[in-house]
Chains A and B, each alone.
Chain A
Amino acid sequence: MTSIAKPPVRHPSSRTNGLGLTLRDYEGAMSTLCAGCGHDSVTAAVVQAGWELELEPHRIGKMSGIGCSSKTTAYFMKQSHGFNSVHGRMPSVTSGAAAANRSLTYIGVSGDGDSLSIGLGQLSHAIRRNVNMLYLLENNGVYGLTKGQFSASADVGSKSKKGEANEQTPIDPVLLALTLGATFVARSFSGDKKQLVPIIKAGIAHKGFAIIDIISPCVSFNDHEGSTKSYAFTREHEVEAVHTDFVPLQREITVPETDEEVRTVTLHDGGMVRLRATASDYNPTNRESAYAHVRACQTRGEIATGLLFVDENGRDMHDYLRTPATPLVDLPFESLCPGKAALDSLMERYR
């Protein structure tokens, strides 16, 4: 059951954000995922990010496909409008919702099966359309919900629980997104909340399609030795390209004392991401070098993490569509229907 309500008790000392909401207000129903599933940690990071960003929960559309990962939209922000669509097709549903009502914040959650097999086409085209949304790809290298088949992100040689080795080349969502022109590309690890939370916040504030590939181990089917999407493997092989801080517009912006070089990217809404390169020459605003870096890490058997690429100058779907700032759903009918006089005069064209 995915909607066991959590008891509504609030700890008297819980801190509230600017909206007067506590962290608990950003939680959802009780998770029914396996204890220890990486997806629950991602949920916790989303809760944290939403609370810190002071998002109004009811102004959020939580979108997903089908899979264990896709279930998690029920586990955060219970006051938000949610949509579990069909397997692999969340991007189109979100595109339509965003076209109709651009004033909401769309957070999409998907799995590697959902995104890279059945939904690869839709993911690619949402990138191409540059839909304004955050796309969390909870990547565990297996199909969790259908019990452990290899997904398209399983590395060559990685083993299934039964010991069978995967022989097919994986699809790397980060390389895919960089290739297709995504304007915000990041990778993180469900076990690294410190890194994940600011990236999620930046992704939400980004104008356009923000994808975060999150290695999120499946403890039931893919957390054993031989898996390249396990906790142990990820901890050992993670290489952070940049350290990311997120500073929302509302806050006073103070740059912490540091001797490392800090690069600041101003987001569309005026907020900022501060990126401190951990590799000395890493430039997260250059698509080619970001791509090369991810490939180089891959060759070395490492997983590149952090906000790998961001471009705040891209045109998003609404720019292409030339839609007004007022959401289409709020336009009065009178301004949409040309009316009798127009139809009567139009009829002359068909004579």
Chain B
Amino acid sequence: MNGVNDFSFKIGTVNGTGSASANGLLMQAIFRMGIPVTGKNIFPSNIQGLPTWYEIRVSKDGYTARPSEVDLVVALNPSTYAKDVATVRPGGFLLYDSSWPLDPDLVREGITIMGIPFGRICVENFQGDRDRTLLRNIVYAGSLAALLNIDMDVVSGMLSEKYGKKPKLLESNHKAIQLGYEYAKANFQCPLPFHLEKMDATSDSILIDGNTACALGAVFAGATVGAWYPITPATALMEQFKAFCEKYRVDKATGEHKFAILQAEDELAAAGIIIGAGWAGARAFTNTSGPGISLMQEFIGLAYYTDIPAVFFDIQRCGPATGMPTRTQQADLLSLAYASHGDTKHLVLFPANPGEAFELAVQSFDLSERFQTPVFVATDLDIGMNDWMVKRLSWDDSYRPDRGKVLHKEDLDKIQKFSRYLDVDGDGIAARTLPGVGGKGAYFVRGSGHDKHAAYTEDSDAYQELVDRLKRKFEHAATVMPKPVFTLQPGAEVGLVTIGGCDAAVREAADRLRDQGVTVDVMRIRAFPFGSEVREFFDAHDRNFVIEQNRDAQLRALLAVELGIPRDSMTSILDYGGMPLTAKVVVDGVLRHLAQVPA
């Protein structure tokens, strides 16, 4: 690390002081210089006043996981100075606001400390408290531009794009960026040893967050009903869905909306609304997080038992209870796989990044209608809310929704009698009708015992027949769910198995391990139920690690229960403190465990 186009830095500020736009500006400028970059917002569950950090990783090789060390910290929040000073790697740099003297206790050997009087610069050059606070961010962005060699033309261009219609703002932002730039140039050796140089590695990519990507997936898949209750980190998904629908689905002439978004009174209602809409034939979805999933359990069981499609986006955060709402985790795996009371099993998709979130969001609607069952798209806060660099999203206009087995009037006319839960094809999927189709297709949905004709029953055999069909359907689904992604190396005897957002760190770790003489194969699981290839991967390796972000090794538990893989044969590497995974955690974990294995 730490060379040209290969380093990372972080900015520590106070929540609510407007640093997000400056940080976004830096990140986007680097991206527009053609250099691969990722940004992680580490923010508190609070609106104002608490510490917040933005971490930017620059990686010419395209690594996008959270960096395991930082080369430069911009410390603008006095209350976290001590912590910030400690996180700089040996030989790295600390940039602080020298409007006030730095406590001598905070000075650390082995790092370079640079002071720029951001506060004073703003007081001298701008009027009003608000402007002075906001523009301080732009001033530090300017200083970083000098220190890191960010192309000022790119930055100016971006400011013009953003404030083009507001000349006063444009002028003050320009001035602020220039002040910061010039101060750094005049006082320090610029650029620093690690810095940026233009590349051409991002023209094929975009910067996007997972919530936006899921929302786009819902729009493109033709979802028409969305219901939700606000919760971090899921909220933006519906807000984006709304924004896209307003762009693409409002009839200009009449003002009519080809979508319905209902902000429900709670998550129970949100689940009820999408199940009602799914029953009526719409593609419907909700977006929520762990606490919401807990509330939706009863309804999820109803949809499962009555064969009703509905899509649930679960943007996981740290649980249990309210947990840490602004920190990331993968701790809902078991509660999604088996949501609700009784024997239930659900289809779950695990995108690794926003690009895949878009694709799997579209697929989730197809799977849900095809299998007439709830489908969960499980992302997490890191995927959902952070800006990721991914390949441009693409669309194939020949796509048509898979509506599954739906009998229309013409189909009903051809049959003697319609029985809602009759498994004609042996795949566990019975044909459904949509309300309004006609008397012959009418049937009764009930969460109480019912037989294959949808009639009420308490008969043991009829009940078992029905729940066995649901199991058959689930097993059938396992054969068509998205396959794992494999990254293989010749002769590898060690297998790394992971899921969702751990992907970037695990793949990077595989490269680091190879550098150290340990070749590994990586399997990233993308769906539950697991296909047969998952079991095969385990069988093919002497040693398997399962890497996930929760305390109780939930993925390992699922693998053990569903595939019968002995639990002891899977070594867990668990990271559940709420931060996005780093490659270092994986490398260290693997090496430590391998060292313990007798040769």
Indicate, yes or no, whether A interacts with B: yes
A residues contacting B by CB (< 8 A) are 1-3, 57-59, 61, 66, 73-74, 78-86, 89, 91-101, 103-104, 121-122, 124-125, 129, 321-324, 328-329, 331, 333, 335-340, 342-344, 346-347, 350-351
The smallest beta-carbon distance between B466 and chain A, in angstroms, is 15
Question: Does B254 touch A at the CB level, under 8 Å?
Answer: yes
Task: Give the top 9 A-B pairs by smallest Cβ distance, nearest first.
Answer: A92-B272, A96-B276, A100-B282, A79-B439, A96-B273, A350-B206, A81-B435, A93-B276, A96-B277
Q: A99-B260, A323-B257, A347-B393 are in contact. Are A81 and B207 (CB under 8 A)?
A: no
Q: Is B443 an interface residue (CB 8 A)?
A: yes
Distance in angstroms between the alpha carbons of A12 and B417 in the assembled complex: 26
**A122 & B435 in contact (Cβ 8 Å cutoff):** no
Contact A338 B219 (CB under 8 A): yes
Please name all residues of chain B whose beta carbon is closer than 8 Å to the beta carbon of A81 when the two chains form the complex.
435-436, 442-444
| B207 contact set on A, CB distance < 8 A | 350-351
Cα–Cα, bound, A135→B572 (Å): 53
Q: What 1/0 mask marks residues of chain B from 425 to 455 whose CB sits below 8 Å from any chain A CB? A: 0000000001111110111111110000001
Contact A125 B279 (CB under 8 A): no
* Complex Cα spacing A338 to B220, Å: 7
Per the bound structure, the CA–CA distance linking A1 and B455 in Å amounts to 9
- Identify the stretch in B12-20, B231-239, B263-271, B580-588 within 8 Å (CB) of chain A at 4 or more residues: B263-271
What A residues does B447 contact at CB under 8 A? 66, 84-86
**Chain B residues numbered 174-221 whose CB sits less than 8 Å from any CB in chain A:** 206-208, 216, 219-221
Chain B residues within 8 Å of A321, by CB: 257, 260-262
B507 at the interface (CB under 8 A from A): no
Please pick, from B281, B397, B456, B457, the residue contacting A100 in the complex, using a CB distance under 8 A: B281
Contact, CB under 8 Å: B444 / A84: yes
* CB of B220 to closest CB in A, whole Å: 5
The answer to whether A93 touches B439, judged by C-beta atoms less than 8 angstroms apart, is: no
A100-B439 in contact (CB<8A)? no
Contact B445 A99 (CB under 8 A): no
Q: Of residues 268 to 313 in B, which have CB atoms within 8 Å of A's CB atoms?
A: 268-282, 284, 298-299, 302
Least Cβ–Cβ distance between B486 and chain A, in angstroms: 28
How far apart are the CA atoms of A344 and B207 in the complex, in Å?
14
Report the minimal beta-carbon distance from B417 to chain A, rounded to whole angstroms: 13
Q: A92-B264, A92-B273, A343-B395 are in contact. Are A97 and B444 (CB under 8 A)?
A: no
Give the CA-CA distance A285 to B486 in the complex, in Å.
Answer: 68
Complex Cα distance A333/B362, Å? 13
Q: Whole-angstrom distance from the CB of B162 to the nearest CB of chain A?
A: 13
Select one of B32, B208, B260, B266 contacting A121, CB under 8 A: B266
Interface on B for A, CB 8 Å cutoff? 31-32, 206-208, 216, 219-222, 224-225, 227, 244, 247-249, 251, 254-262, 264-266, 268-282, 284, 298-299, 302, 392-397, 399-401, 434-439, 441-448, 455-458
- Asked whether, in the complex, the Cβ of B254 is within 8 Å of the Cβ of A324, the reply is yes
Pick the contact of B448: A57, A84, A344 (CB < 8 A): A84
Distance, CA A86 to CA B457, complexed state (A): 17
Nearest-CB distance from A334 to chain B (Å)?
9
Residue of A nearest to B254 (CB): A324
Q: Which residues of B contact A84 (CB under 8 A)?
A: 444-448
Considering only CB atoms, which chain B residue lies closest to A89 in the complex? B272
Contact B299 A328 (CB under 8 A): no
A-B CB contact pairs (8 Å), 25 listed: A58-B437, A73-B444, A83-B279, A85-B445, A89-B268, A89-B269, A94-B276, A95-B269, A95-B272, A96-B262, A97-B279, A99-B276, A100-B224, A100-B276, A101-B434, A104-B436, A129-B262, A324-B257, A328-B224, A328-B259, A329-B280, A333-B222, A339-B395, A339-B397, A340-B395
Q: How far is the CA of A86 from the CA of B394 in the complex (A)?
A: 40
Q: Which residues of B contact A124 (CB under 8 A)?
A: 265
Residues of A within 8 A of B437 (CB): 58
In the complex, what residue of chain A is closest to B203 when comparing beta carbons?
A: A351
CB of B260 within 8 A of CB of A92, answer no
- Which residue from chain B places its CB closest to the CB of A79 in the assembled complex? B439
Chain B residues closer than 8 Å to A103, beta-carbon distance: 436
| Complex contact A336–B224 (CB within 8 A) | yes
Instruction: Kindly state the separation between the CA atoms of A318 and B278 in the bound complex, as whole angstroms.
Output: 18
Cα–Cα distance between A171 and B62 once the two chains are bound (Å):
62
The answer to whether B397 touches A3 (Cβ under 8 A) is no
Q: With a CB–CB cut-off of 8 A, which chain B residues contact A324?
A: 251, 254, 256-258
In the complex, what distance in Å separates the CA atom of A16 from the CA atom of B151? 83
